[in-house]
């Protein structure tokens, strides 16, 4: 696919995303908010796992930190709950910064562990954060949670709580419509930043560390520092996703951020294709939308039973389909959906060359090098990836 074709396809998708709120019902608008929020989290995780090669099962913990920090920052203090009363934009920035800061504090552990050991260490974060959410009642509201303040910019409300009247083409824009466009902007910015990070000097250093820490260190790359930076970036993405989920839900409770959420994020990037920004977005769409759509139409699908009735309910069917999708990807589509798309458009099979995966799950071609310096034996002057 040529660059012109990609741009045209991107403009068509953007136009559709801008026009959809004019025709969608509230259920689909709410579904779109959840999908866009999880897309942001999935992009952050694919940078960490797919590009930098670090396994994490703690994405839900950082999303919870971002969500609750946003709620605390934007809420007014009451006799029973703490709050800073900051503007919504400041609360959003603080949520991302705090999640990234916690990721930075955890990065010494992340830089010393790898594989399943790092995964188990991050798994512990989920249980620690959940314990804090249940017991810090003054900050989190405990088991019952706390409500989320409407997002406002310069007095303009993005909520159904007393919103300013706004109509476009005869369609009144209520809270869900406004949040749709806010989330669309945040999602596009997050994906644009992720795509640029993946192809930047830092992204190439992450990929070199993923492929071989020993070779990366020999090339002059600060392995520990780049592993820590990947973890910090991914944590910040999770914090933004958590704040967006808080706005989409309207009320937070600890049960929103369980271990299953971390597993879902991993499923998203595996199905979409590790290291692929577009694949992470498609995986987030599949994993997030499937159970909600099945639940919405469970009364007209004869093979589905009501939740709790003992039959095949929408949640169980969704998990079964996730499992089948993962097996199909691992057996038939090693590059995920992004890799399958790459093969359909006539690309070459992924190679083992060092470098960050391209946006379709493959690997970019290795640039030509001087014959005196073949690939894999580059001189120390290639430190550009470490600075």
What length is written for the chain?
A: 387
pLDDT of 383 over the 80 cut: no
Is residue 387's pLDDT more than 60? no
Give the C-alpha distances (Å, rounded to integers) separating 277 from 41, 124, 210, 223, 340.
11, 27, 17, 23, 14
> What is the pLDDT, as a whole number, of residue 73?
94
Mean pLDDT of 105-122: 87
| pLDDT at residue 147 is higher than 60 | yes
What is the structure's pLDDT at 246? Answer: 94
Per-residue pLDDT at 386: 40
142: region left, alpha or beta (phi > 0 left; psi from -120 to 50 alpha): left
348 has pLDDT over 60:
no
- Are 351 and 363 a contacting pair, CB within 8 Å? yes
**How far does Cα 335 stand from its chain's mean position?**
19
- Least confident interval from 90-104, 122-136, 153-167, 246-260: 153-167
162 falls in which pLDDT band (50, 70, 90)? low
pLDDT tens-digit readout, 295-347: 888 777 777 776 666 678 787 888 888 888 888 888 887 778 777 777 777 65
- Read off the pLDDT band of 358 (50, 70, 90): very low
In sequence order, the β-bridge partners of residue 156 are 153
Q: 318: which 2 tokens?
A: 């969704």
Q: What is the pTM of this model?
A: 0.83
Higher pLDDT, 351 or 31: 31
What pLDDT is recorded for position 4?
Answer: 75
The two three-digit tokens of residue 49, written as one number: 């796992």
pLDDT of 67 reads 96
| Alpha-carbon separation of residue 221 from 213, 214, 357, 383 (angstroms) | 9, 10, 19, 6
Q: Are 281 and 78 in contact (CB under 8 A)?
A: no
Q: How far apart are CA 127 and CA 222, in angstroms?
A: 31
CA–CA gap between residue 18 and residue 315 (Å, rounded): 30
Q: What is the pLDDT of residues 176-234, one digit of tens each?
A: 888 898 999 999 999 999 999 999 999 999 999 999 888 999 999 998 899 999 999 99
Tens digit of each residue's pLDDT (9 = 90 or more) over 44-70: 999 999 999 999 999 999 999 999 999
- pLDDT band (50, 70, 90) for residue 168: low
Output the average pLDDT for the chain. 82
Q: Is the pLDDT of residue 373 over 80?
A: no
Residues 228-269 have pLDDT tens digits of 999 999 999 999 999 999 999 988 999 899 999 999 999 999
What pLDDT sits at residue 165?
A: 61
Q: What is the pLDDT of residues 89-109, one digit of tens each?
A: 999 999 999 999 999 999 888
The SS3 assignment for 244 reads helix
In angstroms, the Cα distances linking 152 to 207, 219, 276, 308, 311 are: 39, 48, 33, 39, 44
Q: Which residues contact 381 (CB under 8 A, 6 or more apart)?
A: none
């Amino acid at each position: 696919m040529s660059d012109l074709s990609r741009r045209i396809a991107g403009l068509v998708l953007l136009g559709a995303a801008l026009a959809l709120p004019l025709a969608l019902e509230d259920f689909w608008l709410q579904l779109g908010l959840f999908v866009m929020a999880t897309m942001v989290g999935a992009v952050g995780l694919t940078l960490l796992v797919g590009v930098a090669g670090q396994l994490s099962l703690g994405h839900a913990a950082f999303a919870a930190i971002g969500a609750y920090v946003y709620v605390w920052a934007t809420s007014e203090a009451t006799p029973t709950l703490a709050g800073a009363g900051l503007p919504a934009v400041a609360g959003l920035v603080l949520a991302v910064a705090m999640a990234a800061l916690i990721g930075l504090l955890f990065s010494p552990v992340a830089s010393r562990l790898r594989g399943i050991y790092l995964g188990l260490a991050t798994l512990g974060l989920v249980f620690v954060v959940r314990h804090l959410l249940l017991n810090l009642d003054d900050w989190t509201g405990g088991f019952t949670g706390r409500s989320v303040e409407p997002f406002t910019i310069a007095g303009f409300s993005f909520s159904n709580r007393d919103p300013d009247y706004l109509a476009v083409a005869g369609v009144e824009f209520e809270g869900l419509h406004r949040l749709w466009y806010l989330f669309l902007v945040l999602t596009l910015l997050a994906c644009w930043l992720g795509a640029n990070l993946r192809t930047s000097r830092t992204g190439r250093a992450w990929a070199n560390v993923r492929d071989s820490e020993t070779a990366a260190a020999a090339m002059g790359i600060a392995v520990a520092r780049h592993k820590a930076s990947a973890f910090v970036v991914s944590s910040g993405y999770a914090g933004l996703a958590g704040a967006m989920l808080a706005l989409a839900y309207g009320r937070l409770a600890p049960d929103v951020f369980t271990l299953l959420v971390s597993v879902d994020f991993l499923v998203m990037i595996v199905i979409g294709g590790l290291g692929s920004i577009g694949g992470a977005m498609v995986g987030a769409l599949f994993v997030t939308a499937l159970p909600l759509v099945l639940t919405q139409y469970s009364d007209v699908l004869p093979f589905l039973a009501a939740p709790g009735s003992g039959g095949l309910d929408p949640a169980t069917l969704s998990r079964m389909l996730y499992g089948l999708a993962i097996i199909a990807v691992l057996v038939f589509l090693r590059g995920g959906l992004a890799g399958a798309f790459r093969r359909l458009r006539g690309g070459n099979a992924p190679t083992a060359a060092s470098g960050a995966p391209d946006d379709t799950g493959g690997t970019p071609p290795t640039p030509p090098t001087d014959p005196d310096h073949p690939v894999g034996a580059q001189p120390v002057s290639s430190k550009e990836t470490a600075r």
